[in-house]
Amino acid sequence: ATKIAIFASGSGSNFQAIQEAIERGELDAKVEVVVTDRPNAFVVTRAENFGIPVHTFTAKTYESKEAYETEIVTLLRDKNVEWIVLAGYMRLIGDTLLSSYTNRIVNIHPSLLPSFPGKDAIGQALAHGVKVTGVTVHLVDEGMDTGPILAQAAVEVVDGNREETETRIHALEHELYTKTLKQLFEK
């Protein structure tokens, strides 16, 4: 099984979808640790429910990004983590992580990149009035939601309805992320 770390800052529904795919035997991977910069995020509860170790850190208590990323790299190396899977991790990845896990960090984003990078991509897309939006899985580089695209899938925006669009995007994310990780890890 491919050893992975999942980085998340929020609800963790993508983490849960990946963990459930692993438990169903659909994805040959093992989540060695969940890393979060938000100690109160719901992803922590989800990870505990699955019995998966959590590493929490508070960025502002460190001198620099390099300092907390160095701590994370040490932890990941210790656990022989091969891939970093970002699942709603709302922080830019710095040089320390990028140079230790070059082309081994993958991200999911709720838009058809390069449209609407950054925060609240769904809100940005609706505000723009697009009729089609979607989901992108990509390798991570130094930019915000940039890097080589691995997979995309589209979602129609029906009557600019936020709730409906959000529900469809999240369901599609869970499916596309698992499928793309499977292809990536089987290479």
Measure the CA–CA gap between 180 and 61, rounded to whole angstroms: 35
**Residue 145 found at the interface with ligand GAR (CB under 6 A):** yes
> Which of positions 49-88 make contact with ligand GAR (CB under 6 A)?
87-88
**Residue 10 found at the interface with ligand GAR (CB under 6 A):** yes
Per the annotation, does 52 bind a ligand? no
Per the annotation, does 91 bind a ligand? yes
Measure the CA–CA gap between 84 and 7, rounded to whole angstroms: 7
Indicate which residues carry an active-site annotation. Answer: 109
3-class DSSP state for residue 122? Answer: helix
Measure the CA–CA gap between 98 and 186, rounded to whole angstroms: 22
Measure the CA–CA gap between 82 and 2, rounded to whole angstroms: 7
**Residue 109 found at the interface with ligand GAR (CB under 6 A):** yes
Q: How many helices (H) and strands (E) does the chain have?
A: 6, 7
- Least gap, CB of 172 to ligand GAR (angstroms): 10
Q: Which residues are annotated as a binding site?
A: 12-14, 65, 90-93, 107
Instruction: Name the residues that contact ligand GAR, by CB under 6 A.
Output: 8, 10-14, 87-88, 108-110, 121, 145, 173
Binding-site residues for (6R)-10-formyltetrahydrofolate:
65, 90-93, 107
